Structure 1
Amino acid sequence: MTPETRDRLRPFRDEAIARGIPAGDVERWLATARPCATLTRDGEGPVVGHFGGPLLLPADTPDPAHPFVASLDLAALPAHATDLPLPPDGRLLLFAFPETADDPETMGSVVYVPAGSAVVERDRHAWNSFDIDDDEAMFEAFPQGPLRATPQVSLPHHHAVEFLDKPGSGPLPGHPRSEELAAVWKSLRDDIAPEGPLQIGGYADEEAIYTDPLAVAVTRAVEAAEAGRWDGPVSGDVSDWVLLADWQTGMDVPGWESATVHWVIQREDLTARHFDRAFTSVFWNP
């Protein structure tokens, strides 16, 4: 942890200790902090992408099967804004349908367009091949406009893991006071690291949370691969995966107030720039 991050998290440390949580437990929790980038349509940070806009893809890239959400200019992302091994340039395009799936399948995709690639404008509505009016109305409500980045710090929002050998859940391994520590973060996050509609890296968040949304996404990816709806190989070990991006759709899309889109990817796929191997999981409590 950098001195700047430790100083930024000092109010969290002070509040946790004031609530009676031992200093050792607090320090172990602080050691889990990760850098992330919060993207908003206002603020003073640099413009690093856009919600919506024209869909520009290489001619040989198939039409994505899900609605276009946003594009990110990786060269414009502030240095060290995340700890993800992202390419230094090029564009990352995010696609998603922000509803939970009836069957185990990905609800979105990611396309990486290397810098200098020849691109052509594509039909942003091609995903809706059946011309379903309700789906089109949802897509038309997607946010539009430039996205500005603010480097932030992220701590876990979740506090429990599901037991593998019996029903129920328990504290995060190595963190017996995890529920209390997550509660402290929830109470102070708006002051320390305000959230935005889109987050790159860090920890996943959603409306009702006690276990890690990343772990849920990994389980769904494994189930999708086993059902033949997503190509393997797929690791069931959560430590082999990272959160690529979160989209809190409730900040932007009326009717989807409690929905969150999680784009996740295996570490080795991210390092190899196999963004077509990203999996998209959605939490929605309609």
Structure 2
Amino acid sequence: MAVIDDWNTDRVHRFRAEAASRGLPTEEVEEWIRAAVPGTFFTQGGDGPLVARTGGDPILPKDAPDPCRPLIARVDCALTPQGATGLPLPSAGHLLFFADVDLGLHGPMSDAVYYVPAETPATVRRVDTGYGPFESHDMRTMWHHLSPPMPESFAEARWDAPDDEEYELAEELESAWTHVGGSWPTWTFALGAHPVVLNDDPLLLTRDDESETGDAAADTDDWVLLATWRGGEQVRELDSYVVSWMIRRQDLASLRFDHVYSHVDRT
């Protein structure tokens, strides 16, 4: 399996050195490092086992209901190293991700993610969902590394009502991090990591929604980014778009996928 398996501890050391050479505040440098979370990233190509596939028709058990949204991706959990995403993923079986690609779609969905346990008899299900099926792409290459938040998200989480200087500092931190990071392949699908923000941070939107409409005693910080799909050419009406799936960490650990938030954004 083609795997770039590098948590890149050296990158953190290089980042500290680069940030120091730019005169960036040590406290904010360390906060940037603490804010980084692990992620696993998938891309097309490779010559190893099929770790994930985007598009195509879903493979579902006979008693599973027909999906009303197109299949976005199917991930083999057994081939995703435990701990590589920072999430309590199942150790075997397949996770299937579904989504509408209508701009601005955001909210809880009971059928956005489906888990097929290992050894469960399943067959290809051909259904008409409007958009799909998307063109199928095999992904046999994956890699793991720390993912920092996007600068605007970092600034808004770090400071109350950040000013222009604080936003600029966040941009400088990202610049220093990117400068020492080397070159990574262009990824299409990811598990874990921080959200890709085009207009609004989907994870912050989800936490805000839950704080307003959910259980007042619930911990909104338990919400995490489960997966991200960066699309484009699959849907002619959309040029560049991102689909994100959010879930409570405790629900993921319990294999409960009936309250996943989906979010679609585009440039």
| TM-score between both structures, scaled by the size of structure 2 | 0.80
Q: In 1, Cα distance between the equivalents of 2:216 and 2:59?
A: 29
- Provide the C-alpha distance between the structure 2 equivalents of 1:117 and 1:284, rounded to a whole number of angstroms: 36
Secondary structure of 1:207's aligned partner: coil
Query: Which of 73, 76, 81 is 1:78 aligned to?
Result: 81
Matched, 1:169 2:164: no
Q: Over aligned residue pairs, what C-alpha RMSD do you find?
A: 3.4
- Structure 2: segments with no counterpart, 5+ residues: 1-5
Does the CA contact (< 8 Å) of 1:106 and 1:221 recur in 2? no
> Is 1:151–2:144 an aligned residue pair?
yes
Structure 1 position 234, deviation (Å): 9.0
Residue in structure 1 matched with residue 203 of structure 2 by the alignment: 214
Structure 2 counterpart of 1:40: 43
Which residue is 2:174 aligned to? 182
1:119 to partner: Cα distance: 1.6
State the shift of 1:237 in Å.
4.7
Question: Structure 1 residues 77, 196: CA separation in 2 closer, same or farther (over 3 Å shift)?
Answer: same
Q: Distance in 2 between matches of 1:254 and 1:23?
A: 46
**Contact preservation (8 Å) 1:100, 1:283:** yes
Mark the CA change 1:106 to 1:276 in structure 2 (over 3 Å): closer, same or farther. closer
Runs of 5+ consecutive residues of structure 1 not aligned to the other structure: 129-135, 227-231
- 3-state SS of the aligned residue for 1:151? strand
Q: Name the residue aligned to 2:28.
A: 25
Q: Which residue of 2 aligns with 1:244?
A: 226
Size of the aligned set, in residue pairs, is 256
Instruction: Establish whether residue 275 from structure 1 lines up as the match of residue 257 from structure 2.
Output: yes
Greater relative CO, 1 or 2 (CA 8 Å, sep 6+)? 2
- Tell which deviates more after alignment, 52-61 or 272-281: 52-61
CA distance in 2, matches of 1:63, 1:189: 46
Amino acid at match of 1:160: A
Report the equivalent of 1:131: none
Structure 1 residue 108, shift from structure 2 partner: 6.7
Aligned to 1:133: none
Supply the distance in 1 between the matched residues of 2:146 and 2:105 (Cα, whole angstroms): 34
Displacement of 1:80: 2.9
- Give the secondary structure class of the aligned counterpart of 2:63: coil
1:68 aligned to which of 50, 66, 71: 71
Task: Report if aligned partners of 2:105, 2:263 keep a CA contact under 8 Å in 1.
Answer: no
Q: 1:44, 1:26 → 2: CA distance?
A: 39
* 1:203 maps to which of 166, 188, 194: 194
Q: Is the 8 A contact 2:110 2:260 kept in 1?
A: no
Matches of 2:15 and 2:135, distance apart in 1: 32
